[in-house]
A and B are shown apart, each in its own frame.
Chain A
Amino acid sequence: MGIARRPGSDLMVQTLKELGIEFLAANPGSSFEALQESVVNYGTPPNTMPEFITALHEESAVDMASGYGRAEGKPMCALVHGTVGLQHASMAIYQAYYFGTPMVLIAGRDDTFIQPHTANDMAAMVRGFTKWDAQPTTLEGALQALQEAYRQAVTPPTAPTLVVIDTELQKLEAGALTVPKYKPPVISGVDRTAAREIAEKLLGATNPRISVGQLRTPEGVRHAIELAELVGASTSTTATSGPMSFPQRHPLCGPGANTKYDFTLGLETGPADIALVGPRISSLTAARDKSGIGFGGLRAEHGRERAEGGGRRNVIVAQLDVDAEASLPEITRAAKELMTRSHQRVIGERTAKHAAANEEARLSALRTAVDAKRVGWDASPVSTARLYAELWPLIMNEDWCLASPTNFSGAHHRQLWAHDRPYSYLGGAGAAGLGYGAGACAGAALAARARGRFVINVQTDGDLNYAPGALWSAAHHRLPMLTIMHNNRAYHQELMFLEFMAGLRGRGTDRAHIGSTLRNPFIDYKKMAEAYGMAGEGPIDNPNLLQAALRRGLASVKRGEPYMIDVLTQPR
């Protein structure tokens, strides 16, 4: 094969450009050298849309796509090398699948170079936890597959998709071939009749409510706000536990002036009289997951709650199996058509009452939270509550994104902070696997860098040690990412499990630390950060030194320089 004047990989990059893929993360591999060369050299300017992001581990590359995808509600691309890269990436793909994160994965395939790095059916290794895959045999087919991968990734249920592309196709002369026109997916919402019925119920109710779960994109959040404001409904939110939900401190968010709701609309959640619940990942497993990966978690009606016997907190009386986000414009349109001046007057009065009641409820909740979190304020090592408390006043007027899982560090932000953006908090790891935090935060910081915001990474120590190279990626690409170590020097949950098991067996409760702690020697995370080119400080065990350190860290990330603060913390 001669050198192509117009290589196929250029058209692949052009396809990604036209799909709006901003970033492509990869650890280099010979099976995609042609595609990588096109990413960094094709186009004007080159290495833009997508920009090549250097990852030090394929798991980090995919975690970056996870963080970006959760923050933006659209795919980033991760590129992996053959069987070895795909297996490195598999853990992160698994977590993204569990979370329903849209992303496009590309695996290079080279039959002619290193046999152990190739496979006849490359995607089989991750088929159980990807939504869709293809291994095209022509260049045109490869371009179409990339488009279909994107379409499938963003169509509910959103999830990772994979295209396996042979090196030969990447190097092929494209000739006069052009990128096919992309057809966005048509995501169906409720039909006009159902939309009108829902709008009538919202307008006819004395005290309507909207339960807002996790929508797909920021646009869905905008539509939810528009509808809630239009009909004056109090709302609930899941913004403190994950992205793409209703703003926590919106005047309508809270219990409202009256908690006897006579009609509740659910958007991807309950409780609700009518809930709009789009397809879940679990609906895919029967066809693709032949090995039962996930131990049944995905096979169950995961995330769905139906009325069964009453008494359940999250009861859904009637469920329409339809995507909520796609339904909102039609419901809003119907409500506008049905709206009368009488409605408007009542809604205006109700909205004002809700706003006042919700503010009071919010202040009451904050006082209660502060009362609880102040305990151990001066404790050393630093209490996890103080860590979150010290941070909030410094960022409350900034545009921030908390991209790390927080369950192991107390998740105190849920009670102390305001989660008012679709990306305020990006949620847990997906499948509760470790190794996710730093990579995901780097991905979220890619989105943040281009949008003038910054990322907070409350980083557990055990998690960081799986793939700390993400710190280097953050330094190399100058990502606005403030990493604050929750350094309890243990795999602490496992330590507690071991303690319990030893007690149960009646032996060695003083030996549970073996294999579950990170002592002898302690790990110096400041030096780790420095080794990767990231500024930092610590370890800090005096809580009175924390605020000044956080100020220095925030100043650094606002300059575009990631920063690490190693904080010795109480265990939880």
Chain B
Amino acid sequence: MSTPVTMMTAQWRRTTSIALVAGLASATLALFSSAAEQKSPSGNPVRGKQLYYAHGCYECHGFNGETGARRLVGTGSSLIADPNAFITFLRLRADAAPLAPTQTMPSYPVTTLSDAAARDIYSYVRTFVLHAPDPKGIATLQTIIDSGKTPYKPSTSPWQPARSTSRAP
């Protein structure tokens, strides 16, 4: 294993603490929309956390599964509906993808990630919690929406000449 936890910050460790597994298990499961998603993971989320980092899952899905090219939480994706679907998906990806630089989902064949390790990652992924606050409770987000109502102000400055040119020491 390389150095997975060195990248993690204290805040991140706090946020995604494995302690969440027990305390938030029911709340987390509720995030997955289909009944099929509610099959119990069988891996070890503690090991899964390290593997999630070491095998680069965070690169596209974020440290908390909420960001990046494709978030994992709150999507209702059938690909993380159960461990078997998850592992099947991991195995097949690159076979269908071009042999060229790409940001599409890599393959994780059994030669580089065992079934047991994949189950650990799966169990860790299932601990992720969606944080998506109501914009009405976040002044910043509400201001952004309201800014769309701000009347357009024609600019004069782009066509004004420079006021001064020299302030060098």
Q: Which residues of A contact B (CB under 8 A)?
A: 22-23, 45, 47-49, 51-53, 218-219, 221-222, 225, 247, 249-251, 359, 362-363, 365-367, 369-371, 373-381, 383-385, 389-390, 392-393, 396, 399, 416, 418, 420-423, 447, 449-453, 476-478, 489, 492-493, 495-497, 499-500, 502-504, 506-513, 519-520, 541-542, 547, 560, 568, 570-572
Contact = CB atoms under 8 A, between A and B. Distances in A.
A249 B152 contact: yes
Closest 4 CB pairs of A and B: A503-B106, A376-B66, A450-B162, A380-B11
Contacts of B165: 22-23, 48-49, 51, 450
Nearest to B131: A378
Interface of B: 1-3, 6-7, 9-12, 14-15, 51, 54-56, 58-60, 62-64, 66-69, 71, 74, 93-94, 97, 99, 101-104, 106-109, 111-113, 130-133, 135, 138-141, 143-145, 147-150, 152-155, 157-160, 162-169
B103 A493 contact: yes
Contacts of A383: 62, 66-67
A222 B159 contact: yes
Nearest to B71: A375
Contact of B103 (A450, A500, A503): A500
Contacts, number: 235
Nearest to A568: B9
Contacts of B149: 359, 363
Given A393-B147, A509-B56, A509-B112, A541 B162 contact: no
B164 A450 contact: yes
A513 to B, nearest CB: 7
Contacts of B69: 572
A184 B129 CA distance: 62
Given A376-B67, A396-B147, 6 more contacts: A359-B149, A375-B130, A451-B157, A476-B168, A495-B56, A506-B107
A503 B112 contact: yes
A234 to B, nearest CB: 14
A499 B108 CA distance: 9
A369 B56 CA distance: 27
Contacts of A478: 167, 169
Contacts of A519: 3, 6-7
Contacts of B166: 45, 47-48, 51
B56 A477 contact: no
Nearest to B58: A571
Contacts of B153: 420
A264 to B, nearest CB: 22
Nearest to B15: A380
A541 B152 contact: no
A371 B106 CA distance: 28
A53 B166 CA distance: 10
Contacts of B64: 376, 379, 570
A45 B167 CA distance: 12
A379 B145 contact: no
B131 A504 contact: no
B118 to A, nearest CB: 11
A135 B51 CA distance: 60
Given A423-B158, A571-B68, A363 B145 contact: yes
A184 B113 CA distance: 65
A560 B130 CA distance: 41
A374 B164 CA distance: 42
Contact of A499 (B59, B62, B133): B59
A159 B52 CA distance: 46
Contacts of A499: 55-56, 59, 106
Contact of A381 (B9, B131, B133, B152): B9
A554 B36 CA distance: 49
A503 B108 contact: yes
Given A49-B165, A572-B68, A362 B148 contact: yes
Contacts of B131: 375-379
Given A510-B2, A511-B2, A374 B152 contact: no
29 contacts: A22-B162, A48-B166, A221-B158, A250-B152, A366-B148, A375-B66, A376-B62, A376-B64, A379-B67, A380-B12, A393-B140, A418-B147, A420-B153, A420-B155, A449-B167, A450-B163, A451-B157, A451-B160, A476-B168, A477-B169, A502-B106, A502-B112, A503-B109, A503-B112, A509-B55, A509-B108, A510-B51, A541-B12, A570-B67
A319 B6 CA distance: 56
Contacts of B102: 497, 500
A251 B153 CA distance: 10
A300 B53 CA distance: 41
Nearest to B158: A218
B62 A510 contact: no
A52 B155 CA distance: 30
A8 to B, nearest CB: 23
A374 B36 CA distance: 27
Contacts of A541: 9-12
